[in-house]
Amino acid sequence: MNNKESQSTGQQTEGEAAQEKQEERYTYGEETTGAEPAEAAVTSESNDEGKEASRLAASETAAASAAAYSAADNNESGAGAPGKKGPIGWIVLSALLAAALIIVLVMNPLGGGGNGAVATVNGENITQDELYELLVDANGEAALDNLITEKLVQQEADAASISITDQDVTDEIDIIKLQFPSEEDFNNQLMQYGMTVDDLRDQVRISAMLRKVLEPKTEVTDEEIQTYFDQNKSSLGEAPEQVRASHILVETKEEADAILAELKAGADFAETAQAKSTDGSAAGGGDLGFFAKTDMVEPFANAAFALEIDQISDVVQSDFGYHIIKKTDYKEASTANFDEKKELIRLKLTSDETNQLANAWLEEIRGKAKITNTLTETTEAEATAEAKE
């Protein structure tokens, strides 16, 4: 950090996603570019490390998953490089495709939804057939292809006597977590998509299966594991001492003195920050999130780290004006432990290698398989008939 005030773009993790998420963070470290007040924070965001129906709805296609994770590695500049789409986002997209096909299959098991109304608009019916056709046109082929791919992987796993345990699924979740700067970022991404960890567990079973099927074709050395550990300690649990604080920033000492007097008289800090702070964090009650001492300009950092939790500082002057700081939380420094993380790193590197192998392998087994797809055949037949008319 070069200790100037800035906004850094919120991080987005790797893979394909149904939608993009951007968080804007307010940082002391570069030039201000106008953070969204509601999401202001003072943290460094430039880490260099980036039931039958429900089960089917939750299954992701192994081919696309492999491509998504491979793309992540090819572009990896850290656990959260700006502009990247999250692996969770991809999973949600795949689940939506599968869910769309489930609706089709449930409604139309014998090829016809019927003329029964599924909705009415001012007395006019929307029929099952209309809904069926829309779902097939929009998602049917992609969703069915997901399920075909899942079936192929499952058959290969069965042939190799490979089963997926709860621990295998947990391992897959832990691999995904490595792509996030923190547990909080991981959970926030889940919340963005309206998911729980249990939802995600259902959805990554096919990825775990693919990894276990292809693992015998991979080789991860101790040297590769050590190198990954050395280069990614921050995503493996290493972090400096941090505090969380809120602040009120104004231009003059007179303003700051008057506000400090109000706070000492019992005024609410967050409400006062919202009303009077000129900083982008004002809308969030002045909350700056967690930050390390080196993330902040020296006068601010020294004051914030010297406070007790819930204590309010005197007026602090920096290059940006006059601050009143309230310390709200504290985290001790932590050290990444190689022995504790060695197996997880091996799984992660194995997953990277299997993802690189997956597309070619899936094409190979698909080419050998006998697959009938009446949905595609019907679509092609209808297109041919329309062309002749």
pLDDT in tens, 243-302: 999 999 999 999 999 999 999 999 999 999 999 999 999 999 999 999 999 999 999 999
Please give the average per-residue pLDDT across 338-365, as a whole number: 93
Please give the average per-residue pLDDT across 69-78, as a whole number: 36
Confidence at residue 312, expressed as pLDDT on a 0 to 100 scale: 98
Please give the average per-residue pLDDT across 331-360, as a whole number: 94
DSSP, res 31: -
Confidence at residue 64, expressed as pLDDT on a 0 to 100 scale: 38
Confidence at residue 383, expressed as pLDDT on a 0 to 100 scale: 54
**Confidence tier at 55 by pLDDT (50, 70, 90):** very low
Given a cut of 70, is residue 379 above it in pLDDT?
Answer: no
Please give the average per-residue pLDDT across 331-354, as a whole number: 94
Distance CA 386, CA 374 (A): 18
Phi, psi of 311, rounded to the nearest 5 degrees: -85, 145
Q: Which of 247, 261, 237 is nearest to 301 (CA)?
A: 247
Write the CA distances from 119 to 35, 68, 131, integer angstroms. 44, 37, 10
Distance CA 79, CA 76 (A): 8
Confidence at residue 225, expressed as pLDDT on a 0 to 100 scale: 97
**Confidence tier at 102 by pLDDT (50, 70, 90):** very low
Distance CA 59, CA 152 (A): 13
Mean pLDDT over the full length of the chain: 74
Q: From 3.10.50.40, 3.40.140.10, 3.40.50.150, 3.40.50.2000, which CATH number describes the 242-331 domain?
A: 3.10.50.40
pTM, two decimals, is 0.58
Share of the chain above pLDDT 70, in %: 67
Confidence at residue 130, expressed as pLDDT on a 0 to 100 scale: 80
Given a cut of 60, is residue 14 above it in pLDDT?
Answer: no
Please give the average per-residue pLDDT across 104-133, as a whole number: 67
- Longest CA–CA span in the chain (Å) reads 84
Share of the chain above pLDDT 90, in %: 46
Beta bridge partners of 329: 244
Segments making up each domain of the chain, as ranges: 47-78+85-237+340-388, 242-331
Residue 128 CB burial class (10 angstroms; 0-12, 13-18, ≥19): middle
Q: Give the chain's end-to-end CA distance (angstroms, integer).
A: 67
Q: Report CA 355 to chain centroid distance, whole Å.
A: 19
Write the CA distances from 280 to 8, 60, 71, integer angstroms. 12, 39, 35
